[in-house]
């Protein structure tokens, strides 16, 4: 037998738009088809995004040891490692991907994330380095990008460790 809903909840159904009801039905369908709750699917999604971050870091590492080294491209890949790792945390904290824009993500680092202000700054700086590497024609020399690449590599490694610990603490299956 179905549970009785409160008047407030019945009112919410009575005043729902067709779009809201479609979304509710989709949520029920997603849970039924996956045999997982929406909350569990959020954890799995955050874990997948974090794994994408590790893949970006691995690609960046390969670029730095290639012969010849591709430091400019490594800068970009290290940034994306940092971006996706933090995006996983922001997604989980906010129950959605509302802040995935590159300029917005640092503003929405979870309040309970360790060294929040430090990572806001480092993520913004990493994005600027990535923009320079991806869009500026100068400097042309790959060697000029070596120091920024290795600096971002260090930051990416540290952020991946911190985001992994944060996500695991929230229940992510990493």
pLDDT band of residue 4 (cuts 50, 70, 90) is: confident
Q: What is the pLDDT of residue 20?
A: 96
- What value does the mean pLDDT take over residues 136-154? 95
Domains of the chain, each with CATH number or no CATH: 49-169 (1.20.120)
Helix (H, G, I), strand (E, B) or coil at 140: coil
pLDDT band of residue 59 (cuts 50, 70, 90) is: very high
The share of the chain scoring above pLDDT 90, in percent, equals 95
Distance CA 119, CA 128 (A): 14
Q: What is the pLDDT of residue 58?
A: 98
Does the pLDDT at position 1 exceed 70?
no
- What value does the mean pLDDT take over residues 36-54? 97
- What value does the mean pLDDT take over residues 128-137? 96
Q: What is the pLDDT of residue 3?
A: 73
Residue 164 host element (H or E): helix 146-169
Provide the token pair at 104.
């917005």
Q: How many CB atoms lie within 10 A of CB 9?
A: 10
CA 130 vs. chain centroid, Å, equals: 16
């Amino acid at each position: 037998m179905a549970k009785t809903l409160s008047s407030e909840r019945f009112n919410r159904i009575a005043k729902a738009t067709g779009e809201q009801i479609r979304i509710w039905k989709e949520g029920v369908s997603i849970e039924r088809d996956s045999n997982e709750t929406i909350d569990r699917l959020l954890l799995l999604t955050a874990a997948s995004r974090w794994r994408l971050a590790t893949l970006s870091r691995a690609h960046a590492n390969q670029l730095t040891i290639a012969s010849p080294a591709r430091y400019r491209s490594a800068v970009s890949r290290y940034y994306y490692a940092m971006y996706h790792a933090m995006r996983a945390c922001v997604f989980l904290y906010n129950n959605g991907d509302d802040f995935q824009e590159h300029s917005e993500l640092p503003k929405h680092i979870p309040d309970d994330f360790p060294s929040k202000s430090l990572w806001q700054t480092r993520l913004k700086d990493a994005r600027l380095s990535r923009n320079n590497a991806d869009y500026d024609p100068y400097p042309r020399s790959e060697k000029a990008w070596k120091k920024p690449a290795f600096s971002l590599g260090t930051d990416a490694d540290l952020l991946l460790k911190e985001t992994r610990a944060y996500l695991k603490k929230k229940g992510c299956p990493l």
